[in-house]
Structure 1
Amino acid sequence: MDHDILIAGGGIAGLTAAAAFGAAGFDVLCVDPAPPVASREAPGADLRSTAFLQPAQAFLAEAGLWERLARHATPLQTMRIIDAGGPAPDARLSRDFEASDLSPDLPFGWNLPNWLLRREMAARLQEMDSVTFRTGVSVERLFTRTDEARVSLSDGRTLRCRLLIAADGRDSALRQAAGIDVSCTRFGQKALAFAVTHPIPHGNVSTEIHRTGGPFTLVPLPDHEGRPSSAVVWMEHGARAAALHALDVPEFEAAMTERSAHQFGPLTLASRRAIWPIIAQHARALSSERLALVAEAAHVVPPIGAQGLNMSLTDLKVLRDLARAAPERLGDADMLARYHRARITDIRARIGGITALNRVSMLQAPALRDLRAAGLAALHGAAPLRRALMQLGLGQTR
């Protein structure tokens, strides 16, 4: 056997998986067609940010990643939801959800830019004797048997492993090769992602502003060039998003400042703009012979409530725990069936909940937007329900 585990995909989920399984004592090879883009200004840099929620911290620490990430992380102490659905695009209702309601010492989570995450995670893998990370290489063919997977790589090599992990994205070639179907919902939306600076400090508050088309979310980042900075995800109907993406910078800055309900003063664009379509998608099965699907190969959700990557980390933790509990059964049919059963119900429930929230955020009719605002006020005002929903969002079961 050439490796215990082969991971296809060197995005954040794939790099995390390599670190986690390597730290658990497995021999791991992770491959990706392209090297990580590890600079904010480099062509192809992922300009989104990722919020790691509370439960992720221990898992990242066990993988040896948190020590590298902590010094770059911006804590998320408050989540503020604003309804700006009145006649003018101004805040008419604002409610804060405080991490202190759940724990006195910990924030909801920590936010980091994706390009920086990939830089630090790739550096961690270089330190690990049990992990090999190869770029410029992809999986081309897959042949599985009950006791092993044989993988043909683009460099001409054929390797044998006990478990193949597909972390190769929403259009996963490995998922398709295994014949696993997906259920997909399209919303007619696109998301713009970029970074901004602003004169008013964010105070470690993540701010989600609802009007129509989808939420406009500002997530705290470290100061940039001496000014407060935030990562922004702006979801809009597809044609509107494309038109915004094409605007000259001054026009775009005026539009995003208005859409932000002027919460942080005039917004200044501090990065390139990325755009991508919004879908909700999940694989009908999370495994096949010697193959496990994780992250966006298994599920895709709209960027609401920091659920996407945190669902992916739960995939990895469940899979890692199963492997560590019975290493002699790594990748066998029983282990992979357990993985599917442990994750599929939660994945479907979270996708359903996020899909519903996204449709509410898209409302255009004034009367329905009024109902949305009233619902937010009622939810926040019921303290037990508020705390229960926050715990659910964090993935806590207590």
Structure 2
Amino acid sequence: MKRESFDILVSGGGVAGLIAATAFGSAGYSVLCVDPNAPVTDANDPDADLRTTAFLQPARALLDTCGLWSSLAPHAAPLQIMRIVDAGGETPEPRVVKDFRASDISDEPFGWNLPNWLLRREILGRIGDLANVEFRPGVSTQSVLTRESEALVSLSDGTRASAKLLIAADGRNSPVRDAVGIDVKTTRYGQKALAFAVTHPIPHENISTEVHRSGGPFTMVPLPDRDGQSCSAIVWMERGAEVKRLQSLNKDAFEDEMNTRSCHLLGPLTLASRRSAWPIISQIAGRMSAERTALIAEAAHVVPPIGAQGLNMSLGDLRVLLELAEGAPDTLGSRPMLDTYHKRRHPDVRLRVTGIDALNRASMVGAPALRDLRAAALNAFYSVAPVRKTLMRTGLGSR
């Protein structure tokens, strides 16, 4: 069997895995990234990922280091205000509206929003410029054997690869995580999320808006204009049966439902893409490392799409790995390096998974008394300026 050697093997070619390959490649390491599926880089492809990702402030420095930000910036919509709307009264109308302004804590926006399919396109373009990085779509990890000096990985194309560091970025059902014997704790909510894009007559003014009623938040995130019209990405979380019903509606009926749920804050919303749905869970790995192996992204943690935490937690994983690798290159993938990685990342990940779980449960409540309590809590947190600013800095991942 053919055997190849690399500094780093990244198992998983989603957005997080591709950024990991780009980051380590830009730092001079030899990298192989594999994924069983070829990334879809066209919004019109039936398999395109129509979700969007908001890169929060700390992500920009990492994307700059990777050589990615210059190509992403022209497509990014800045997020200047995070608006929370409680519409949990008797009728679906705003009764509490609170704005969390980036200008209160920084001269920069909270972050920048981009479509996932476009992210894949631009990251692959950057990988094509890196001679020391190879991406193999259509190739999966078949087996993993680790030893003190290296990880040995058998791939579906018949290759056997060795690496000083194996990065598991292969999703919530990670084969690599299973192979190295790391357990996970999973929480299921009975929820799903609908993702789609809309156009609307009222400009979003770079405000990301979460509307809370019951079932989960209805989130409108700014996108660049489309054909001269204001455009936003929508993530609509509801219980599974309700999502199934919504998916079955024709376009006109669906638009009626989403306009009611949005409280008409941006005027009449017009569906501008197909609708996709995926299940909502929380999940955390018992450890973020094993012999010669680091878990990042959804292999290590999964959270509901609240507060733009998902991929930004993944980039937090990557930043720590890069710092440790560049601080002591001779220890790449060693037990001390990976133990330090686990100790630095796992407490923060555990705290964020717990916090987002609590926020999601609060967003789901349907009983009027509990919805009133949620509105009162929003008022209380917002009214105390130091608390409000601390929450914003914590959400950004600021140290």
What is the match of residue 58 of structure 1?
A: 61
Deviation at 1:68, TM superposition (A): 1.1
1:202 pairs with 177, 185, 204, which one? Answer: 204
Deviation at 1:309, TM superposition (A): 0.4
What is the match of residue 146 of structure 2?
A: 144
Q: Equivalent residues in 2 for 1:304-315 (5 A)? A: 304-315=306-317
Q: Which amino acid aligns with 1:38?
A: T
1:90 pairs with 88, 93, 109, which one? Answer: 93
1:249 pairs with 248, 251, 258, which one? Answer: 251
Q: Which amino acid aligns with 1:35?
A: A
What is the match of residue 176 of structure 1?
A: 178
Deviation at 1:375, TM superposition (A): 1.2
Unaligned runs of 5+ in 1: none
Paired with 1:186 and 1:305, the residues of 2 have a C-alpha distance of 19
Q: Secondary structure at the match of 2:131?
A: coil
Q: Secondary structure at the match of 1:2?
A: strand
Paired with 2:118 and 2:33, the residues of 1 have a C-alpha distance of 19
What is the match of residue 70 of structure 1?
A: 73
Paired with 2:138 and 2:285, the residues of 1 have a C-alpha distance of 27
Deviating more after overlay: 328-337 vs 203-212: 328-337
Q: Equivalent residues in 2 for 1:316-335 (5 A)? A: 316-335=318-337
2:378 is equivalent to residue 342 of structure 1 = no
What is the match of residue 158 of structure 2?
A: 156
Unaligned runs of 5+ in 2: none
What is the match of residue 126 of structure 2?
A: 124
TM-score, normalising length: structure 1: 0.98
Paired with 2:33 and 2:320, the residues of 1 have a C-alpha distance of 19
2:284 is equivalent to residue 285 of structure 1 = no
Q: Secondary structure at the match of 2:349?
A: helix
Deviation at 1:93, TM superposition (A): 1.2
The percentage of aligned residue pairs carrying the same residue is: 62
What is the match of residue 236 of structure 1?
A: 238
2:36 is equivalent to residue 33 of structure 1 = yes
Deviations 1:140-169 (A, max 9, x none): 111111101111110101111111101000
1:19 pairs with 11, 15, 22, which one? Answer: 22
What is the match of residue 7 of structure 1?
A: 10
Paired with 2:308 and 2:29, the residues of 1 have a C-alpha distance of 29
2:270 pairs with 268, 271, 284, which one? Answer: 268
Paired with 1:379 and 1:326, the residues of 2 have a C-alpha distance of 42
Paired with 1:43 and 1:194, the residues of 2 have a C-alpha distance of 13
User: How many residues are treated as equivalent by the alignment?
Assistant: 396
Q: Secondary structure at the match of 2:163?
A: strand
Paired with 2:152 and 2:370, the residues of 1 have a C-alpha distance of 54
Paired with 2:225 and 2:103, the residues of 1 have a C-alpha distance of 24
Q: Secondary structure at the match of 2:244?
A: helix
Paired with 1:340 and 1:9, the residues of 2 have a C-alpha distance of 20
Deviation at 1:226, TM superposition (A): 1.7
Deviations 1:274-309 (A, max 9, x none): 111110001001111111110000000000000000
Q: Which amino acid aligns with 2:313?
A: M
Paired with 1:277 and 1:339, the residues of 2 have a C-alpha distance of 29
Q: Which segments of structure 1 move beyond 3 Å, counting only runs of 4 or more?
A: none
Deviation at 1:225, TM superposition (A): 2.0
TM-score, normalising length: structure 2: 0.98
2:215 is equivalent to residue 213 of structure 1 = yes
RMSD: 0.8
1:101 pairs with 99, 104, 109, which one? Answer: 104
Q: Which amino acid aligns with 2:172?
A: R
1:112 pairs with 104, 107, 114, which one? Answer: 114
